[in-house]
Chain A
Amino acid sequence: MNLLAQAGSGQPFIDWSWIADHTDDMTARTVKHIIFTGIAVGLGFAISLVLSLVIVRYRWTYGPITGVAGLLYTIPSLALFGLLIPITGFTVTTAEIALVSYTLLILIRNTVAGLDGVPSDVREAAVGMGFSPLQVLVKVDLPLALPVIVAGLRVATVTTIGLVTVTALIGMENLGTFITDGLQRLFITPVLVGAVLSIALAVAADIALLGVQRLVAPWTRAPEEAR
């Protein structure tokens, strides 16, 4: 940072007193950022789980469902907000619809892959022991698929944290607000604060979910390629 400060103009590179004055804002916006991410990933996971079960039951739906999810995934976030604003306005709904739709592809693919990975011998053994289809799902399929599902949740969460930042552009308050405010006033300190905090949050979430991933599958680390 010293080097950067020297290279900058007369004005100090980072205004530390501004940071000291805004610690409350930083906490509040970090919390909002986490809540926004939590809602998106939670809703996205609920939808993905249902769709994944449909796919596992009716295989032909895999192409169409992941096709639509893939299309949503390709649309840039700012564009998706723009397309939704005429319908739902500058609201949390607009932001969350877009955020949820970005989690679907990752979560569906991982959940289906996880369920597919359950050995059919184990499933048959459960059926043979008199498990009902629901019991097989809850007690056999989901626990065994969990490591791969959590791997998907991890990717979805980290991606969403980055995208929440962008919702500041449509008036949502979160860590991205520091960035948009700073850019508007050409004041670098808040820009950097917003960037550093959102990156730190993404990294922290990544590490925390890696821990969860190991925790739910103590007998084996999730295969390298599913991480």
Chain B
Amino acid sequence: MNGVLEFIADHRAEVVQHTWEHIQIAAISLLLTLAVALPPALWLAHTGRGGFLAINASNIGRALPSLAIIAVVFSLPGFGLSKSTVIFALVLLGIPPVLTNAYVGVRAVDRDVVEAARGMGMRGMEILRGVELPLAAPVIMAGVRTAAVQIVATATLGALVAAGGLGVFIIDGIALQDTARLVTGALLVALLAIVIDLGFGALERAVTPTGLTVTQRGEQAARRGGARRGRGDQVLADQTRRSGAG
């Protein structure tokens, strides 16, 4: 532990630089992921099309080893040793959980509520924005959270393709047999992943409509009373979570 604090004190500029690079790479990747994955997922769910693809996206995504994806992108012409290699790979890894959760979340909105909205004269886009999106927000955010943690974790491997980030300390630490460097990098990456996880967890709760928490509490009470409703939903939410892998 002492070695770590000493290392950070001696290499302040490096630590700041690589942390900043890490956050930058992760943020760009996450934004691109959302831009690419959310619109089609919401549209598919709203129209009820392409369910098989959207639901299985996360299954396929899980089968893609992060190091292998970075390796494949690296070997594509025009990528190689660069930031764009890791960003492109991170977007590929981030898409599945966002896509699946957004689709499942919107589809899980009570059809009666949607019918009621239609009965009140709301149109397609109005229903999506005013009814489906708010009610699906917690599930969608859960997918974003999974993707964010996954992206921050895997960005560590960016050091292998000279993209910078906190992985540099780990890779260099291994190469130089420098334990302080290695452990500093490892601690900072772990800390960053946990902070991102907690932060997006808070965001997830923040976007949960009050009405929904009240219903959930009622369901939990019912479950404690012996009924087993909603168990399947819990399992689903777990399955779409993905490891810090990287």
Taking beta carbons and an 8 Å cutoff, which residues of A are in contact with B? 4, 7-8, 71, 73-83, 85-86, 102, 105-106, 109-110, 113, 116-117, 148, 155, 158-159, 161-163, 165-166, 168-170, 176, 179-180, 182-183, 186, 188, 191-192, 194-196, 198-199, 202-203, 206, 223-227
Interface size on B, residues (CB 8 A): 57
Q: Dominant SS at the A interface?
A: helix
Which residues 42-57 of B sit at the A interface, judged by CB distance below 8 A? 55
How far is it, in angstroms, between the C-alpha of A203 and the C-alpha of B65 when the chains are bound? 10
How far is it, in angstroms, between the C-alpha of A86 and the C-alpha of B69 when the chains are bound? 29
Q: Mark B163-198, 1 if CB is under 8 A from A, else 0.
A: 000010011011000010011011101100110010
Hey, which chain A residues are within 8 Å of B170, CB to CB? 78-79, 81-82
A4 x B68 contact (CB < 8 A): no
Binds A, one of B33-41, B114-122, B204-212, B230-238: B230-238
Tell me the smallest distance from the CB of A202 to a CB of chain B, in Å.
4
Q: Mark B5-23, 1 if CB is under 8 A from A, else 0.
A: 0000000000000000000
How far is it, in angstroms, between the C-alpha of A116 and the C-alpha of B234 when the chains are bound? 12
Tell me the smallest distance from the CB of A21 to a CB of chain B, in Å.
19
A225 x B235 contact (CB < 8 A): yes
Residue of B nearest to A4 (CB): B77
Q: Mark B137-181, 1 if CB is under 8 A from A, else 0.
A: 000000000000100111011001100000100110110000100
A198 x B153 contact (CB < 8 A): no
B71 x A183 contact (CB < 8 A): yes
A71 x B71 contact (CB < 8 A): no
Known: A71-B194, A83-B187, A155-B239. A163 touches B75 (CB 8 A): no
Residue of A nearest to B244 (CB): A76
Hey, which chain A residues are within 8 Å of B239, CB to CB? 155, 225-227
B153 x A165 contact (CB < 8 A): no
Which listed residue, B64, B76, B160, B236, touches A225 by the CB 8 Å rule?
Answer: B236
A76 x B193 contact (CB < 8 A): yes
Which listed residue, A102, A162, A188, touches B75 by the CB 8 Å rule?
Answer: A188
How far is it, in angstroms, between the C-alpha of A63 and the C-alpha of B137 when the chains are bound? 24
Is B202 in contact with chain A by the CB < 8 A criterion?
no
B68 x A73 contact (CB < 8 A): no
How far is it, in angstroms, between the C-alpha of A192 and the C-alpha of B62 when the chains are bound? 19
B62 x A195 contact (CB < 8 A): no
